[in-house]
A and B are shown apart, each in its own frame.
Chain A
Amino acid sequence: EVQLAESGGGLVQPGGSLRLSCAASGFTFRNYWMHWVRQVPGKGLVWVSRINSDGSSTSYADSVKGRFTISRDNAKNTLYLQMNSLRAEDTALYYCARATIGSYAIDYWGQGTLVTVSS
């Protein structure tokens, strides 16, 4: 069974940093592209970032470019999102998500980890 378990969320002050982790199991992690998607409670889904299967290629939403870094450790079956210079508007539930083979959709999602940026 595919499982994605996010951790690392919490309350942080504006300008602060957090690192989110996503532990993957039930599939061959190194074969799949992975994504982060966020959602303000009660609002819509917003794509944040993606990384290819070996970590050599990444892409970011303009709203986080230069502040967030996506990475992965295929030996540990873990996806990361390093978030720096956090702003109030980064407050959201952050989902770790697996792309389909061919990377044309997201077929599995974690349950999310909540990040709150507030003083």
Chain B
Amino acid sequence: DIQMTQSPSYLSASVGDRVTITCRASQSISDYLNWYQQKPGKAPKLLIYVASSLQSGVPSRFSGSGSGTDFTLTISSLQPEDFATYYCQQSYSTPWTFGQGTKVEIK
């Protein structure tokens, strides 16, 4: 199975900050990497698919990059509604696997 490792696991930031979350795969997954946002008590929401494509309706302050084994989710200017947990997920091969999550909290 492909292991996905996110860093950091926890991030404290202020409104307006630029935030970067990293995801590393245990083997090359080309660009089959997705990012999801989950708020407490809610289902996950797709933000970025195939590494860098913005899902319809997602604000442009979210962006993704990377290929192979190393990927990044960037929030250019953190907004109050962005405080949530973020997960990366590979769809290169089954079983699909998720990172452990990065919780973004208010500083």
Contact = CB atoms under 8 A, between A and B. Distances in A.
Given A50-B94, A104-B49, A107-B55, A45 B43 contact: no
Interface of B: 1, 32, 34, 36, 38, 43-46, 49-50, 55, 87, 89, 91, 94-101
Interface size class of A (residues with CB under 8 A): 20 to 34
Which one of B43, B46, B99 has the highest number of Cβ atoms from chain A below 10 Å of its Cβ?
Answer: B43
A31 to B, nearest CB: 18
Contacts of A50: 94, 96
Contacts of A46: 98
Contacts of A32: none
A33 to B, nearest CB: 11
A59 B43 contact: no
A62 B95 contact: yes
Contacts of A13: none
26 contacts: A35-B96, A44-B100, A45-B36, A45-B38, A45-B44, A45-B87, A46-B98, A47-B97, A47-B98, A50-B94, A50-B96, A59-B95, A100-B49, A103-B91, A104-B32, A104-B50, A104-B91, A105-B34, A105-B50, A105-B89, A106-B34, A106-B89, A107-B46, A109-B43, A109-B44, A112-B43
Interface in A89-103: 95, 100, 103
A35 B96 CA distance: 10
